[in-house]
A and B are shown apart, each in its own frame.
Chain A
Amino acid sequence: MSQDQLKDLTEAQILKCLSPPVERHVIALNTQGVPWDQIGHLLALTPSAALSLKGPGWNRHLWLEVKAEVYSFLCEDSEPYSDLRSEWNTLTEKSSALAIASLSGAIGSELGMAGGVVAPMVIWAIAVAVRIGKEAACRAFRPPAVESPQGSPTA
């Protein structure tokens, strides 16, 4: 938790990891004042919007799951990301694109999908975290506590 994975990263640099059309659209939405959380939801919802899609099932809640994994990476000492945390500085020194790709791959692996599927949401979450700072990001990305059947909250 003491490590700041966001130091030396800039929001513009991170957004460059998006494909150009997505970068343009995200910046446009942001400039119009669309809240960052809503932009994240749009990234997750839009592929399946408006239609009956006939694939194996797109996860419309992917933004919430990606945000929770980014929280786990940034704000906890969770085991799934321990290797990546220790390599993070080396990766960011090489290139932020490489670091983001590694994080997307690790988060995708946790969620059972290819890194490329979650990458736009991971990039957006990290860009937001760089903008608002790690502490604020950890507060904003913290998954809501879930009520257990006995009534005591669990994370």
Chain B
Amino acid sequence: MTTVLPLAVDDRLVGSTLLLGIFEKRLFFATALHLVAGSRIQIAIPPHGGNCQEPQVYPINGTPAMDATISATDPFTDLAILSASADANIPTTPKLAPSAGLIPVGTEVVVLGYPFAPLGSFLETWTPAHVTALARRQIAPGLEVDEIILSAVSHPGASGSAIVGRHDGIIYGLLRGALAPPEVIKIGEIPIATDTSVTYATSAHYIVELLAYARTVRDSEV
């Protein structure tokens, strides 16, 4: 089962984070690095526990949350691995695509996350989409990042959502943003008019190496 939970930074919901597993009594999560630009990072546990098949009660005024620390980051791929202490039992951990390019254009996927989390919504949605392109973002000569382009409409809070293969359950990407006009109207810090159906996700294979490294890092060295 793929579990995605809401992410809060400095007591504000900001987006979504994917549970990667429990190792040596530490839970590990993946999210988009651009979300965690704050000092206090928390992962909320909504009443449905991240099981999107359960009915979700709303509105809810508060929910338990666990403090998390940043165990590893990769600014070039916009990824962060978070960890939190826990004694929880995780029955299954998601399978991550081991390399880029394993998902052809046209493949059905599901975007699992918390759209509109910054507005206070704890509603997790399961949104079908298709891979509409495979992209390679060039950061500098010789430095490229593999990305997946999706037909899904990305809303505020969707960053950090898992991109799951609809038929194989494999995590192929982590949502990071949407194509938008250069001049974007904003309400406060929330951009509007960016709900285009060109949504970008970082290829999940980058998470594999970052997680392996994060597991070796002690909290004192973070």
Contact = CB atoms under 8 A, between A and B. Distances in A.
**Size range of the chain A interface in the assembly:** 35 or more
B35 A55 contact: yes
B72 interface: yes
Nearest to B190: A54
Interface residues of B, number: 58
B221 interface: yes
B157 interface: yes
Nearest to A58: B34
A19 B178 contact: no
B118 interface: yes
A112 B191 contact: no
A52 B155 CA distance: 11
Interface in A95-141: 95, 97-98, 101, 108-109, 112-117, 119-120
Contacts, number: 147
Given A54-B156, A55-B32, A116 B37 contact: no
Interface stretch (B96-104, B140-148, B162-170): B140-148
B155 to A, nearest CB: 7
B154 A22 contact: no
Contacts of B70: 114-117, 119
A68 interface: no
Contact of B194 (A42, A54, A109): A54
A30 to B, nearest CB: 11
A27 to B, nearest CB: 11
B43 to A, nearest CB: 14
B37 A117 contact: yes
Nearest to A44: B75
Interface of A: 17, 19-22, 25, 28-29, 32, 34, 42-44, 46-59, 95, 97-98, 101, 108-109, 112-117, 119-120
Interface of B: 9-10, 12, 14-15, 32-41, 69-78, 80, 118, 137, 139-143, 154-159, 176-180, 184, 189-191, 194, 200, 206, 209-210, 213-214, 220-222
Given A95-B221, A113-B38, 20 more contacts: A19-B72, A29-B140, A32-B141, A43-B75, A44-B75, A49-B139, A50-B137, A51-B180, A52-B179, A53-B159, A54-B118, A54-B194, A56-B14, A57-B37, A58-B37, A112-B39, A116-B222, A117-B37, A117-B70, A117-B80
